[in-house]
Structure 1
Amino acid sequence: MSDDSMSRTKDRVPPGQTVTEGFPVLHYGSVPYYNDMSKWDFRVFGLVEEEATISHKEFMALPRQEYRNDIHCVTTWSKLDNVWEGIPVREVMKRVNLKPEAKFVMLHSEHGFTANLPLEDFMAETSFFGVRHNGQLLTPEHGYPVRMVVPHLYFWKSAKWLRGLEFMEKDKPGFWERNGYHMYGDPWRSQRYDFED
């Protein structure tokens, strides 16, 4: 690798991170497996004019696009040049009328896992609902059938096994935030834990 390409790569890796070629699997508890996708649905609730439930068939029929990004895990690995196929957040939000006081989103996943996001981060053009990674369907270990992808924050904010969105007026901690992780999680500011700015 040339000095120039090494410098460009370094500019893409936040402090304290190490680049990996693999895709480490990290989670707490068991991995959900699905035998009957007709039982899978996606719920939108909280500060919305009308709650919505989207079936698996409807969700997978939403328009998709390709995304390219780098991801950074709080456990200090970074994976560069990921290619995803995903559903833009705006495609789901076309079905939702938010109440004006909605400022935050709680991501709800299988097994009661949750992750909190400010609305502006959730709605960013770079955020999406991932369904394929590097040409393959997501594996169960990586969040099949749908995971949130918010690449500008640490990867725990990209909740696996996503099942719903709750819109809120005030921020509140999700699963990992209740267990000591930072409420926001900016990798460029090393916001790993709740005692870090």
Structure 2
Amino acid sequence: MGGKKPGFGKQLGDLHRWNAWITVILAVTGLLLAWDVVRGWLNGEARNPIKQLHIALGVLSAVLIVLYTPLMRRHLKQIRQRPRQKGNLAFVLVLLVGWFLSGIVLWQLRLFPPVWANAALLVHDLLTWVAVPYLVFHSVTRIRWMKQPERRAIKTAPAASPESSDPDRRRPYEEPAPWINRRQFLKWSIGAVIAVTAAPPFFRWLAKAGSGFTSTRDVMGTDANPNMMLPDPVPLPDSVNVIGGGAQGYFRPYTVTRFPKFDSNSWSFTVNGLVDNPGKWNWEQFLALSRAVQVSDFHCVTGWSVYKNTWEGIPLSALLQQAGVKPNARFVKFYSGDGVYTDAISLEQAGMKDVMVAVLHDGNPIHRDYGGPVRLIVPAMYAYKSVKWLERIELVEEEHIGYWEVRGYDNDAWIKA
């Protein structure tokens, strides 16, 4: 004999429970991936598995939506007289579908133009900021002990004798119920706590996402910049008058280790390897090198973009020409000042005219959190190729596999036009 088919109520209940747990784990893994501070604590080995788990759970959540679809008509019929439940169902479905669609774009962002990924990330973040507090509130207020009906104090008058002629003596009376019961009080208290906790960071995120900024100095303040690299007065010869109107968007600081600190007394920049004229400069010598200015877009492989950045620095081709590349050199390897991160591009790619060793962004020194004092800029590729805190360039013969490429990123980092 075959097993008994689960009833409609059990099917709905199972789907609801599975969706609830998946949403919780999605929220936790998503926040771990997106929260700047937490990303700095996690090393590369931890972040990629978290990302893959997040993607897998997103796909599983979509499967649950598909399984719910045949039950939707009957479910809507069941709750047709319950407007709150209908509203909650509509909200959750919009949330899940929005998360899923924007997640697909972020997951497969190489198939879409960067503007699609940027919009998808904005939608994904917005839904998360709105949904997580709501889902916490929804879950806590539906715990079984919270759903028990409030006992009302009802006082009934002594029973009247049949002979009594006073009608008020023949019917019970109720003491008026309080204007708010325990369940309502707890629900609104929980809601207020969640709102107070979530609202400030949400509005800070919304302000940054909506307005963008034109310099890292505007965001962090010069006093907060831990580079300690600039002599007084600061030399800003070319890009003080920002070309192109300034950056549109905002950077999300990521690091695979702790953010490093730099000092002009000990900082140096080196070009060596398979070159005829190895070079090493201290900070003041490096600032004295001839610089160029360009305007380009900056795209991160996680989906966000900053448009129309004005970068000022030394074209990589000029540095390599000055060093004199030997005939057997085939790749250019870059070393970050964090002591951990490396990456590489081919010698042919290094010759692109917009590949730059940048020292200024929109006319201001590049803040430490955004890769300063010196960072590589490769506009045609995703930003994991644009090494932050650049301190050394080495010409090599054998192909070097970079930090993120070893951990699953594609060595082909070209951005879809």
TM-score, normalised with respect to structure 1: 0.82
Aligned counterpart, 1:99? 326
Aligned counterpart, 1:66? 293
Aligned counterpart, 1:82? 309
Deviation digits for residues 45-65 of structure 1, max 9, x if unmatched?
A: 221124322222211111112
TM-score, normalised with respect to structure 2: 0.40
Aligned counterpart, 1:149? 377
What are structure 1's unaligned runs of at least 5 residues? Answer: 1-11, 190-197
Deviation digits for residues 79-102 of structure 1, max 9, x if unmatched?
A: 211111111223322431111011
Residue from 43, 48, 54 that aligns with 2:270? 43
Look up the SS of the partner of 1:86 in the other structure. strand
Aligned counterpart, 1:124? 352
Look up the SS of the partner of 2:413 in the other structure. coil
- Cα distance, 1:131 vs. partner? 1.0
Deviation digits for residues 120-141 of structure 1, max 9, x if unmatched?
A: 2222101111111122210011
- Cα distance, 1:30 vs. partner? 0.9
Question: Whole-Å Cα distance in 1 between the matches of residues 403 and 332 of structure 2?
Answer: 14
1:14 aligns to 2:242 (yes or no): no
1:181 aligns to 2:409 (yes or no): yes
Once the two structures are overlaid, the 10-residue window that deviates more, 158-167 or 15-24, is 15-24
Deviation digits for residues 133-162 of structure 1, max 9, x if unmatched?
A: 122210011111100000000011110000
- From the CA coordinates, give the structure whose radius of gyration is larger: 2
Question: Whole-Å Cα distance in 1 between the matches of residues 288 and 397 of structure 2?
Answer: 30
- Cα distance, 1:32 vs. partner? 1.2
Superposed CA RMSD: 2.0
Q: Which amino acid aligns with 1:18?
A: N
Seq. identity, %:
32
1:172 aligns to 2:400 (yes or no): yes
Question: Whole-Å Cα distance in 1 between the matches of residues 415 and 346 of structure 2?
Answer: 16
Question: Whole-Å Cα distance in 2 between the matches of residues 64 and 48 of structure 1?
Answer: 21
Deviation digits for residues 4-31 of structure 1, max 9, x if unmatched?
A: xxxxxxxx94385215621211221111
Q: Does the 8 Å contact 1:43/1:165 carry over to 2?
A: yes
Aligned counterpart, 2:363? 135
Look up the SS of the partner of 1:187 in the other structure. coil
Q: Does the 8 Å contact 2:298/2:307 carry over to 1?
A: yes
Look up the SS of the partner of 1:112 in the other structure. coil
- Cα distance, 1:173 vs. partner? 0.4
**4+ runs deviating over 4 angstroms:** none
Higher helix share: 2
Deviation digits for residues 55-76 of structure 1, max 9, x if unmatched?
A: 2221111111211001110001
Q: Does the 8 Å contact 1:17/1:72 carry over to 2?
A: no
Count of equivalent residues: 177
Q: Does the 8 Å contact 1:62/1:91 carry over to 2?
A: no
